[in-house]
Structure 1
Amino acid sequence: MPTTVIPPSPPSRPRLSLAPTRGRTVLDGGWWPRSWDPVAELPGLVLTLTERHGRIRHIMLNIHTWDSRIRRLAVGPDVVRIGWFDTLDPALLIVTTGRDDQVDLLVVPPATTPEAAERAMATAADPTNLRHAPDILTTGPTPQDATTTTSSDAYAVWDNEGGSPASARIHRGHTESTTRPRTGVPA
């Protein structure tokens, strides 16, 4: 059984920008950690996300980006499982809630300038944003109007895990469910 890590110090308030509502978005917001130390950074994020989404039970991170590989983290009364994935983009963090909702966050590298980090987090939290996490970090934010997406542009933007074109999520009058597909979470 993996050891549960108990953070040695109180969590810091995360630098986080969340979309006003969940639903038909590519990302649910952006997070700018102060370091790549998961024991120092994740507790504050978990507590803040718990306030909004309820209990957090699992976090998925890129294995090559962070300084250490903890498997379980005690945050308040809960233990959060941490999954490390080689194929997950370093610019993305995926959270699974106790209700099995998936929350996808842009991860802004700690060394990013404050101005660039704030712009990237605002773009990730913008409900009209159609760009995925790595695209926000590499190209910088640009204004987008979801109503101007052409059918050929829509296939250039795919849902993180579901593979559905963005147009299926933004078409006016579309009755598609607002729930997003969940990723498989290893036990």
Structure 2
Amino acid sequence: MPTISERATIVASTPPSSPRLVLAPVRANQAVLDGGWWPRSWDPVAELPGLVLALSARYGTIRQFMLNSATWDTRFKRIAVGDGVVRVGWFTSIDPAVVIATTYGGDQVDLLVVPPATAPAAADKVMAEAADPANFTRAQAILAAMTAAPVRVADDDGQPAWDNEGGRTLAPARRALSPAR
């Protein structure tokens, strides 16, 4: 049974941040995703208000979000954003790499969710891929391709090297710079 806090309408204590969001230039009926979103954290109270405002400006007032229940830090049923309230549904059946928004007009917006700790270059790349109306790749496959890419690292002397170069091993002093392009 839900607790009182899970039934209450949540009000964020800080102003909404500008979301890191890339949307398809046009809506394509065959596209799997409508864009990509890169939240700064897994805290839905901090992250959803900015996303609601950005999506509402583009597609019309957002009525509801559907998210994976195991991915996010907290759960609640409603969140106040601006002058309105958005319902939030938590489901185990929703892909953890996707957030689904619905408008009062009945439109559905499916977004790839880029994990917050992702390197900026990789996040930009996968958000652009998710926003490509000609791309039919599902969210998990886009993220899996991102993590399968070779990683550029720096040696002790700061010179770039690739972690998949034959014959080299990663010394403990090496640090990741960015995903390969």
TM-score, normalising length from structure 1? 0.73
The unaligned stretches of length 5 or more in structure 1 are: 142-187
For the residues of structure 1 that align with 2:27 and 2:86, how far apart are their CA atoms? 22
For the residues of structure 1 that align with 2:140 and 2:64, how far apart are their CA atoms? 22
Tell me which amino acid in the other structure corresponds to 1:92: V
**Residue 109 (str. 1) matches residue 115 (str. 2):** yes
Deviation at 1:87, TM superposition (A): 1.0
For the residues of structure 2 that align with 1:44 and 1:70, how far apart are their CA atoms? 17
Which structure would you say has the larger Rg? 2
Tell me which amino acid in the other structure corresponds to 1:83: G
Deviation at 1:23, TM superposition (A): 2.4
| Residue matched to 1:154 | none
Show the 5 A alignment for 1:85-100.
85-100=91-106
Tell me which amino acid in the other structure corresponds to 1:20: P
| Residue matched to 2:12 | 7
Say which structure is richer in strand.
2
For the residues of structure 2 that align with 1:130 and 1:72, how far apart are their CA atoms? 32
The DSSP-based 3-state class of the residue aligned with 2:80 is strand
Give aligned-pair identity as a percent.
61
For the residues of structure 2 that align with 1:23 and 1:136, how far apart are their CA atoms? 18
TM-score, normalising length from structure 2? 0.76
The runs of at least 4 consecutive aligned structure 1 residues that moved more than 3 Å come to: none
The unaligned stretches of length 5 or more in structure 2 are: 148-181
**Residue 28 (str. 1) matches residue 34 (str. 2):** yes
